[in-house]
Amino acid sequence: MTTREAFLAKVRAAQPAGRSRPDVPLFDSVGGDLRARFTAALQTMGGTCVEAASASEVSELIRERFGAAASIASASEEVPGTRAIDPDTDPASLQEVDVGVVRARFGVAETGSVWFSEREYVVNALGYIVQHLVVLLDPAQLLDGLQDVYRRDDFRSARYAALVTGPSATADIEGVLIRGAQGVRSLTVVWLAG
């Protein structure tokens, strides 16, 4: 047994016994139009929502917003990219990509968040290292609140999951807000049935 294997065996042997997750209470719904609530929450966090009738409209939207020469890495078969990605893509190689495209599994109206796992991103760095993120979201896949996320089977079975709410942002002590300091500079949610 190598030193590494011996070390890992000791770590595994020292793990506490597994225990079930606590029950998350189900709070009363705020009510109202989920799509309107989602849009308002996302806008508060600096994101944008737009409508598209087809995937070709999404491609046109990307060209209009980011230019015809923008490099695009798409994790969605619906919208073609200029740069192919697959699970073996070196995450650091995405640093030169202008626009990442990914379809969210669902959105949360309470916070304006979209949910991704390793399956949606294909390469997890896609959601953080590109300049702009374009998210395809089926309006039928909106949940009311965060407590609903924990009840979903896909949430429990994901190895990696992220709830993303708006573009990256930071503010200094003087209150100067900077977008894209540690991640994407813009996040656009495109309403597109899946």
Rounded alpha-carbon distances, angstroms, from residue 90 to 83, 94, 99, 101: 13, 8, 17, 17
Q: Is residue 24 part of a domain?
A: no
Q: Is residue 19 part of a domain?
A: no
Q: Is residue 162 part of a domain?
A: yes
Give the per-residue pLDDT at 122: 94
Give the per-residue pLDDT at 170: 82
CATH number of the CATH domain containing 152: 3.40.50.10420
pLDDT at 177 over 90: no
Structure tokens at 42: 């996302």
Q: Is residue 20 part of a domain?
A: no
Rounded alpha-carbon distances, angstroms, from residue 119 to 86, 94, 104, 170, 186: 11, 17, 10, 28, 22
CA-wise closest residue to 166 among 112, 122, 124, 106: 112
pTM score: 0.84
Tell me, what amino acid is at 77? Answer: E
Task: Give residue 144's pLDDT band: very low, low, confident or very high (50, 70, 90).
Answer: very high
Task: Give residue 166's pLDDT band: very low, low, confident or very high (50, 70, 90).
Answer: confident
Give the per-residue pLDDT at 96: 92
Q: Are strands 72-74 and 132-137 parallel, antiparallel or unpaired?
A: unpaired
Give the per-residue pLDDT at 74: 96
Q: What residue numbers bound the domain in which 56 lies?
A: 32-171+187-191
Task: Give residue 30's pLDDT band: very low, low, confident or very high (50, 70, 90).
Answer: confident
Q: Is residue 72 part of a domain?
A: yes
Q: Is residue 179 part of a domain?
A: no
More confident of the two residues 24 and 169? 169
Task: Give residue 88's pLDDT band: very low, low, confident or very high (50, 70, 90).
Answer: very high
Q: Is residue 108 part of a domain?
A: yes
The per-residue pLDDT of the chain, averaged, comes to: 91
Question: By mean pLDDT, which of 67-76, 111-120, 151-160 is the weakest?
Answer: 151-160
Tell me, what amino acid is at 182? Answer: Q
More confident of the two residues 28 and 3? 3
Contact between 86 and 126 (Cβ < 8 Å): no
Q: Is residue 1 part of a domain?
A: no
The pLDDT tens digits for 91-141 are: 999 999 999 999 999 999 999 999 999 999 999 999 999 999 999 999 999
Contact between 123 and 117 (Cβ < 8 Å): no
Question: By mean pLDDT, which of 15-29, 55-69, 119-133, 140-154 is the weakest?
Answer: 15-29
Three-class secondary structure of residue 127 per DSSP: helix
Count of structural domains, the chain? 1
